[in-house]
């Protein structure tokens, strides 16, 4: 399904944080991880960043093996209070948060096994 989303034209109609998720999750396409990274770097970190946007940005970084930036984004996401989370349309984003945290731990363990 994600692969078919990549083919949607134009992707430019989607918000930047949604594009990050699409490119980050489309691992079959060689260009997409690089595109996710470029979008992560280009997405401004301003007052409009919600908890879910920080988590999304973390997904993009982790998908490109940029673990330090992924951890930084998760730290920003964790700064939101319970009130901020319940006012967000993605109220149940805690499973996504935990999933990204586990992905970072797994990637670090893989690096420790085979340092490059």
**Tens digits of residue pLDDT in 78-94:** 888 665 555 555 556 77
At residue 69, the pLDDT reads 95
At residue 89, the pLDDT reads 55
DSSP annotation of 18: H
d(Cα 63, Cα 83) in Å, to the nearest integer?
A: 29
Give the list of residues 6+ apart from residue 81 with CB closer than 8 angstroms, or none.
none
Apex CA 4: angle with CA 6 and CA 34, to 5°? 30
Instruction: Report which of residues 94 and 6 the model is more confident about.
Output: 94
At residue 70, the pLDDT reads 94
Taking the model in full, what pTM does it have?
Answer: 0.75
Q: Which two tokens stand for residue 45?
A: 């970190």
**Domain range for 87:** 2-113
Q: Which two tokens stand for residue 86?
A: 């319940």
pLDDT > 70: percent of the chain: 72
d(Cα 64, Cα 81) in Å, to the nearest integer?
A: 28
Each residue of 24-54: pLDDT tens digit? Answer: 877 665 666 778 888 889 888 988 888 888 9
The tally of domains found in the chain comes to 1
């Amino acid at each position: 399904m994600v692969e078919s989303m990549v083919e949607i034209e134009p992707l430019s109609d989607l918000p930047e944080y949604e594009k990050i998720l699409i490119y980050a999750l489309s691992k079959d396409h060689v260009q997409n991880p690089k595109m996710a990274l470029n979008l992560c770097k280009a997405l401004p970190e301003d007052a409009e960043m919600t908890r879910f946007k920080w988590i999304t940005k973390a997904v993009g970084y982790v998908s490109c093996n940029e673990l330090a930036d992924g951890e930084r984004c998760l730290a920003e996401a964790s700064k939101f209070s319970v009130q901020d989370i319940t006012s967000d349309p993605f109220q149940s984003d805690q499973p996504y948060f935990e999933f990204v945290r586990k992905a970072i731990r797994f990637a670090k363990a893989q690096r420790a096994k085979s340092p490059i």
